[in-house]
A and B are shown apart, each in its own frame.
Chain A
Amino acid sequence: MRAVSLLFPKRTKYRKMHRGRRKGIAQAGNEVAFGEYGIQAVEPGWVTAQQIEACRTTLVRELERNARIWIRIFPDKPITKKPAETRMGKGKGDVDHWVAVVRSGHIMFELGGITREQAERAHQLVSYKLPIRTRLRERLRLGGER
Chain B
Amino acid sequence: MAYELQAQKRERTNPRALRRSGRVPAVVYGPGVHELLSLDRKELERLFAKITHSSRITLKLDSGEEYHTFIKEIQFHPLTDEILHVDFYQPPADRPVTMEVPIHIHGEAKGRKAGGVVEQILETVEVRGPIEAIPELIEVDLTDLDVGQSIHTGDLQLPEGVELHTSPDLVVVTVLAPRKVEEVAAVEEEAAPAAAEGGAEGESESAPAAGSE
CB–CB A6/B198 < 8 A: yes
- Whether B181 sits at the interface, judged by CB under 8 Å, is yes
Whether the pair B207, A10 counts as a contact (CB closer than 8 A) is yes
Chain A nearest CB from B90 CB (Å) reads: 19
Q: Mark B36-71, 1 if CB is under 8 A from A, else 0.
A: 000000000000111111010000000000000000
- CB–CB B203/A144 < 8 A: no
CB neighbours (8 Å) of B48 from chain A are: 142-143
Complex: how many Å from CA A5 to CA B199?
10
* A144–B136 touching, CB < 8 Å: yes
Q: How far is the CB of B150 from chain A (nearest CB, A)?
A: 15
Q: How many residues of A contact B (CB 8 A)?
A: 44
Q: Find out whether the CB atom of B188 lies under 8 angstroms from the CB atom of A68.
A: no
Of the residues A6, A70, A71, A95, contact of B203 by C-beta under 8 Å: A95
The total number of A-B Cβ pairs within 8 Å is 106
Q: Of the candidates A6, A66, A78, which one forms a contact with B208 in the assembled complex, judged by CB atoms under 8 Å apart?
A: A6
Closest to A3 in B: B192
> Does B179 interact with chain A (Cβ within 8 Å)?
yes
Docked complex: A37-77 residues within 8 A CB-CB of B: 40, 42, 53, 56, 60, 64-71
Q: Are A4 and B188 in contact (CB under 8 A)?
A: yes
Tell whether, in the assembled complex, residue B184 and residue A143 are in contact, meaning their CB atoms are under 8 Å apart: no
Chain A residues numbered 1-23 whose CB sits less than 8 Å from any CB in chain B = 2-12, 15
CB proximity of B196 to chain A, nearest CB, Å = 8
Task: Classify the secondary structure of A's interface with B.
Answer: loop
Q: 18 new A-B pairs (CB below 8 Å) besides A25-B78, A105-B79? A: A2-B188, A5-B187, A5-B195, A6-B199, A10-B209, A40-B79, A56-B212, A60-B184, A65-B117, A65-B181, A78-B203, A96-B202, A113-B117, A139-B123, A141-B102, A142-B48, A144-B52, A144-B55
Q: Write the residues of chain A forming the contact surface with B, with a CB cutoff of 8 angstroms.
A: 2-12, 15, 25-26, 30-31, 40, 42, 53, 56, 60, 64-71, 78, 94-96, 104-105, 112-113, 139-145
Q: Which residues of B contact A (CB under 8 A)?
A: 48-53, 55, 76, 78-79, 102, 104, 115, 117-119, 123, 136-137, 176, 178-181, 184, 187-189, 191-192, 194-195, 198-199, 202-203, 205, 207-210, 212-213
